[in-house]
Copies of this chain bind each other. A is one copy, B any other.
Amino acid sequence: MRFSQFAKTSEESPIRKFHPYAVQAEAAGKKIYHLNIGQPDIETPPAYLDAVHAFNHKVLEYAPSPGIPSLISEICRYYEGVGVSCVPDNVLITTGGSEALRIALICVLDPGEEIITPEPYYTNYHAFVTLTGGAIRPIPAVPEDGYHYAEREKLEAALTPKTRALLLTNPGNPTGTLLTREEMEMIADFVREHDLWLLVDEVYREFAYDDTPPVSFGHLDGLDDRLILIDSVSKRFSACGARVGCMISRNHDLIRHALKVCQARLSVGTVDQELAAALYRGATPEYYAAVRDEYKRRRDTVVRKLQAIPGVVCECPRGAFYLMAKLPVDDAEKFQIFLLDNFDDQGETVMFAPGRSFYATPGRGVSEIRIAYVLKQADLERAIDLLALGLKAYNER
């Protein structure tokens, strides 16, 4: 049978790629420390279970296509709390941040058009952009300066007559890069000057490790027409399995067009929206601070230990719960297979996400890896020790 070009050319998830090796290693009795997936281990606030247990609809009906009013109103309250003005008409509830991004792209990108985004980028951006018929034009960033991309010249260099939008994750997945207020103002100028849409995935907003409160693009003036914020409960509340996100924009035409896409997919899960509303309702400043502090400690641990390994390049990232590092290896994918097939220390080994799949540009990211620091301190320490031991064994084999 004939398949579409998309089916034939899109790649398997890098997680799946190494899954058979992991299965084999576990079958051989090895314990694997997983630094390769962005599934937080932090407990979801119990308010979510209270809402689930209180759910009592006799008919499990479709929710309204834009989302249930109580969740929309909690999201507005949350935004007011972080100093970003937001009214219900600015919000559409989506099936995770993923759907919010997909819908935004559908509304702004035509086949053959381009979107600029820093590279390395979140792997799934590629699928979402390709599905609109558009293409990603990467802004190159390198490990040696902490994947810094926010320079006017770099952005200008990626522009073509087909550019319609700039897409950022801030704080960044996979690099942990966090923009300064000045860099954000520069980016705002850039999109205004070139009349581009600005899509910003801010799902890691609270995970910013400077001592100043996190800045959202929603705080900046003069972006109302062109800013589309992507948000989600997945990381903020360790509630990835809820599949509840949202798209926020003050451009009423955008919301009107996006709503048509929302109507075509009918609605977001009704129980999920109720539990998400409960998470927002129950969240306190202490909750946000505690989670942030926990991730900050983990970041410090991982960076300290990585930087102590000879030949590893790792600038300390300022946000999210990921970092990328360059390893002293020929190929991080081969190294990963080695760690699963040919290495263990006291029956234990480690997995990361090889860097190549975060790059569209061939040949880039080959020696790099992404680490998600979503394990407890002791496990993180052990995982990085295993990485160090593995590196030594790999390069001495």
Q: For the complex, is A378 an interface residue (Cβ under 8 Å from B)?
A: no
B1 x A226 contact (CB < 8 A): yes
Interface string of A37-76 (1 = CB under 8 A from B): 0011111100011001101111111110100000000000
Whole-angstrom distance between the Cβ of A15 and the nearest chain B Cβ: 8
Contact of A111 among B40, B133, B257 (CB under 8 A): B133
A106 x B6 contact (CB < 8 A): yes
Residue of B nearest to A107 (CB): B7
Interface string of A267-304 (1 = CB under 8 A from B): 11111100100000000000000000000000000000
Report the bound CA distance from A8 to B108 in whole Å: 10
Whole-angstrom distance between the Cβ of A324 and the nearest chain B Cβ: 20
Report the bound CA distance from A176 to B124 in whole Å: 39
B62 x A98 contact (CB < 8 A): no
Contact of A241 among B10, B60, B109 (CB under 8 A): B60
Q: For the complex, is A207 an interface residue (Cβ under 8 Å from B)?
A: no
B264 x A124 contact (CB < 8 A): yes
B243 x A3 contact (CB < 8 A): no
| Given A106-B131, A108-B4, A110-B4, A49 and B55 contact (CB-CB distance below 8 Å) | yes
A96 x B2 contact (CB < 8 A): no
Q: For the complex, is A340 an interface residue (Cβ under 8 Å from B)?
A: no
Whole-angstrom distance between the Cβ of A382 and the nearest chain B Cβ: 21
| Given A1-B197, A243-B269, A269-B241, A56 and B62 contact (CB-CB distance below 8 Å) | no
Q: How large is the interface on A (under 10, 10 to 19, 20 to 34, 35 or more residues)?
A: 35 or more
A1 x B98 contact (CB < 8 A): no
B60 x A238 contact (CB < 8 A): yes
Number of copies: 2
Q: Which residues of B lie under 8 Å from residue A238 when comparing CB positions?
A: 59-60
B44 x A58 contact (CB < 8 A): yes
B253 x A3 contact (CB < 8 A): yes
Q: Which residues of B lie under 8 Å from residue A13 when comparing CB positions?
A: 65, 260, 263-264
Whole-angstrom distance between the Cβ of A264 and the nearest chain B Cβ: 4
Q: For the complex, is A322 an interface residue (Cβ under 8 Å from B)?
A: no
Q: For the complex, is A350 an interface residue (Cβ under 8 Å from B)?
A: no
Q: For the complex, is A175 an interface residue (Cβ under 8 Å from B)?
A: no
Residue of B nearest to A197 (CB): B1
Report the bound CA distance from A20 to B127 in whole Å: 37
Residue of B nearest to A54 (CB): B53
Q: Which residues of B lie under 8 Å from residue A258 when comparing CB positions?
A: 7
Q: For the complex, is A34 an interface residue (Cβ under 8 Å from B)?
A: no
Best-surrounded residue of A61, A242, A251, A261 (most CB of chain B within 10 A):
A61
Q: For the complex, is A318 an interface residue (Cβ under 8 Å from B)?
A: no
- 8 Å CB interface, A84-99 against B: 95-96, 98-99
The 9 A-B pairs at the shortest CB distance, nearest first, are namely: A241-B270, A7-B257, A127-B264, A13-B263, A60-B241, A62-B240, A7-B107, A243-B269, A60-B239
